[in-house]
A and B are shown apart, each in its own frame.
Chain A
Amino acid sequence: MERVPVLKIGDILLVSIQIDMEDQVALQLQEDLADRIVATGCHGVIIDISALDIVDSFVGRTLATIASISRVLDAETVVVGMRPAVAITLVELGLSLPGIRTALNVELGMEMLRRPPGDDLAFADDDPAAVP
């Protein structure tokens, strides 16, 4: 079985999924990441899915689970690089990936992780004073 490599860059774990994952590979990644977060003490995880030409509900669920597990382990997860066709399909499928933060590319994902969690300005109100 193939394994998805997990790279450590500073305080961030970077995962770039380059293969059409079997379900087992996805579950293995979920385990590997939890282990590496604890072993390295990293506070951020970036999962690059720009090479994935589809995300079905299984992969979507795995991503959501990874995000939840990392949050419990005090690490923020950002999923980056989702292709437009994949996003359109997910909307049609009805999968909204709740609880997952996303960014267009790795760079923007890293920028997002530098901001404190929960400070997602995208949903901030117009009035600067109202931003917590």
Chain B
Amino acid sequence: MTANDGGRIPVASDQDVVRVRQLVRTVAVAVKLSLVDQTKVVTAASELARNTLVYGGGGTVEVSRADNGRRAGVRIVFTDQGPGIADIDLAFTDGYTSGGGLGLGLSGARRLVDEFDIDTAVGQGTTITVTKWCR
């Protein structure tokens, strides 16, 4: 498997966040996302990977090509074994933050991708799956 097809990156430091950005960019270019869509998905990945690092206490990010038969795309899965999110609605509110940030991480990232799934439970960690399709 080459970098074009994606891969798995452990996220334990902010260098890893840079690595995630670069891998997502590589795959986004390989599936021929437009420049604006590349920028959107890389930015979303950067936000979510930082969440994994800061709130989830580290975890893994898996980047892969997606294909639904009609369109190609990029799929990214962020997994951590952190504390989980107690109130999802609150976490998605613009401006809400529990970590001293701008509070745009989750809701902002969701606006930048086409599909956004979150699976979380208090004490069980969080898994977020996002997909960006070619237009």
Contact = CB atoms under 8 A, between A and B. Distances in A.
Direct contact of A and B (CB under 8 A): yes
B104 A89 contact: no
Given A56-B43, A57-B108, 11 more contacts: A53-B39, A55-B43, A56-B46, A57-B101, A57-B104, A57-B105, A58-B46, A89-B40, A93-B104, A94-B104, A95-B102
Contacts of A93: 43, 47, 104, 108-109, 111-112
Contacts, number: 71
A20 B101 CA distance: 20
Q: Summarize B's interface: helix, strand, loop or mixed.
A: helix
Nearest to B100: A61
A23 B109 CA distance: 18
Given A53-B42, A60-B102, A22 B35 contact: no
A54 B42 contact: yes
Interface in A77-112: 83-86, 88-89, 92-95
A57 B22 CA distance: 17
B16 to A, nearest CB: 9
A24 interface: yes
Interface string B22-34: 1001000000000
Contacts of B1: none
A28 to B, nearest CB: 12
A100 B25 CA distance: 27
Contacts of A86: 39
A66 B42 CA distance: 24
Q: Interface range on chain B: under 10, 10 to 19, 20 to 34, or 35 or more?
A: 20 to 34
Interface range on chain A (Cβ under 8 Å from partner): 20 to 34
A57 B95 CA distance: 12
B2 interface: no
A93 B104 CA distance: 7
B18 A20 contact: yes
Contact of B14 (A24, A61, A88): A24
24 contacts: A20-B18, A22-B15, A23-B17, A54-B46, A55-B43, A56-B50, A57-B101, A57-B105, A58-B101, A83-B39, A85-B36, A85-B39, A88-B36, A88-B39, A88-B40, A89-B39, A89-B40, A89-B43, A92-B108, A93-B43, A93-B108, A93-B111, A94-B104, A95-B108
